[in-house]
Amino acid sequence: MTLAAGLTLLAVWSFYYLFVRCGRRGGKSARRYAPVVGTVLHQLYHVRRLHDYHTDLFRERKTFQLLTPSARRQFYTCDPAVVEHILRKNFANYGKGNFNYENMRDILGDGIFAVDGDKWRQQRKIASNDFSTRALRDSSSAVFKRNAAKLAGIVSTNAASKQPMDFQSLVRNATMDSIFTIAFGLDLDTLGGSAEGTRFTASVDDASEFAMLRYINPFWKVMKLLHVGVEGTLKERIEVVNEFVYKRIRTRAQELSNAKAQDSDSRQQDILSRFMEATTNESGTVDYKYLRDMILGIVIAGKDTTAGALAWFFYMACKHPEVQEKICHEVTEATNAGEAASVDEFAQSLTDEALNKMHYLHAALSETLRLYPSLPLNNKQCFSDDVLPDGSSVSKGDIVFYVPYSMGRMEYLWGKDAEVFRPERWLNENGEFQPENPFKFTAFQAGPRICLGKDFAYRQMKIFAAVLLHFFAFRLRDGQNAVVNYRTMLTLHVEHGLHLTATAR
């Protein structure tokens, strides 16, 4: 079906919906809905600039709806009061629901990012316990430092040869190697060029893109049934991902079983082992499918969000060279590192105490996430009829999207310079970092669903940024005026890679 034909059908349906079905509601006429500004098929037309399309609409109104070819309405909001309502004040009435579960089931299954209820609470509890332990914090920091130093070695080679590099691919591989080691206890070595690891990482990226298209393509179920287009390719990518993950799960289960049989200490620091221990039932049975869903969600979240944020951070740092210099100066002071320190020695100097002194770096990362949030579009499904703080009525089954990408660009939230990259907006008069209202700065969600990996992500980004900016100055390959676009995925990545050159300091 062509886009034109689809728009024609949706126009006919919209006429029926607005003038026939709504006219029959009689007693429900008192319900007030957010204004309709278009259809979901307009999003398909604007797919390559989807988030900017939403931003254009939000400049006219804080909350609106797009017509869909179903009884389920789709509301979009940039209003912090509405965001707080669905994420905190009326938390129990909004969740992922069937809408998200159907869209994400093939890739995330019953993992924490796709489910509600008991499964969500169980996984949230396990993950919360893991991410709050000193052992995981120390072991993950060691992994971050090791991979930051490894990445610096690759950058050094490119700098010496004066060759540009696809920096986004490098940080994607580095963050994948990091989270895979933390999750599975194995080095995936995509930074070293592992063909198997590279294939797995590329399949995860493609699956993320094709799953995102389900949110704006009302015909995806038909395409899946016919096994055509991106739905056919999605199935192939998921098969690659599943084969890879199940192989690692079976290997770890066997290792733990052998250790138990030999009466040796089977405790492991990786997340998979702890998930396996926490979900093994009384008969000793482990649900491999459930483990796959839980651990894959952690891997995707840990890789995609941090890799995207670091790529956009270095893009903005190249657009603003003075930011690089300020961070380099701050990092040097915070670590007391001498000029003669090697990369490995410097990485080891990045203690929690030193990282906590890097207020400007923390501000620059937050400013990047304000303009380029790792998850640019998020939503919750309404479980029972409700009224939003702005007076808009929401019915059971409706979807409420909040849009971090657009929120970061709203002048009524951030002032006239909302679209200007200015880390100083996060610092007080003493140069100390000041957090913002989480319902205004929604990069990590908020309320009971606030991201458990927030501190984990900041620590990794600060370690990588500190190591690289201490030893190198970066610039865009095509000059300071280069403009890049985003790839329309679940998470926000540069569309065709980020090509930088580096110079040793």
Alpha-carbon span 314 to 300, nearest angstrom: 21
∠ CA 366-87-392 to the nearest 5 degrees? 115
Is 421 within 8 Å of 367 (Cβ atoms)?
yes
| Binding site feature residues for heme | 451
Place of tokens 């951030």: 414
User: For residues 315-327, b (16+ Cβ closer than 10 Å) or e, as one string?
Assistant: bbbbebeebbebb
Say how far residue 250 (Cα) sits from the centre of its chain. 28
SS (HEC) of 258-310 = HHHHCCCCCCCCCHHHHHHHHHCCCCCCCCHHHHHHHHHHHHHHHHHHHHHHH
> Closest Cα to residue 468, out of 170, 235, 152?
152
Indicate the DSSP class of residue 90: T
Cα separations in angstroms, 36 against 21, 39, 55, 381: 16, 8, 15, 19
Strands (E) in 15-138, as ranges, are: 36-39, 63-67, 74-77, 94-95
What backbone phi and psi angles, to 5 degrees, belong to 417? -95, 30
Q: What angle do CA 443, 446, 425 make, to 5 degrees?
A: 50
3-state class (DSSP) for residue 498: coil
Amino acid at 454: K
Looking at residue 433, the DSSP 8-state letter turns out to be B
List residues forming the annotated binding site. 451
Bridge partners for 367 per DSSP: none
The packing angle between helices 454-471 and 167-184, to 10°, is 130
State the Cα–Cα distance between residues 356 and 372, nearest whole angstrom.
Answer: 23
Read off the tokens for 38. Answer: 């278009």
The residue among 276, 200, 267 whose CA lies nearest residue 238 is: 200
Token pair, residue 490, equals 């679940």
Q: Could you tell me the two tokens for 301?
A: 């979240």
- Non-local (6+) Cβ contacts of 195 within 8 A are none
| Residues in a beta bridge with 75 | 65, 400
CB 89, CB 78: distance < 8 Å: no
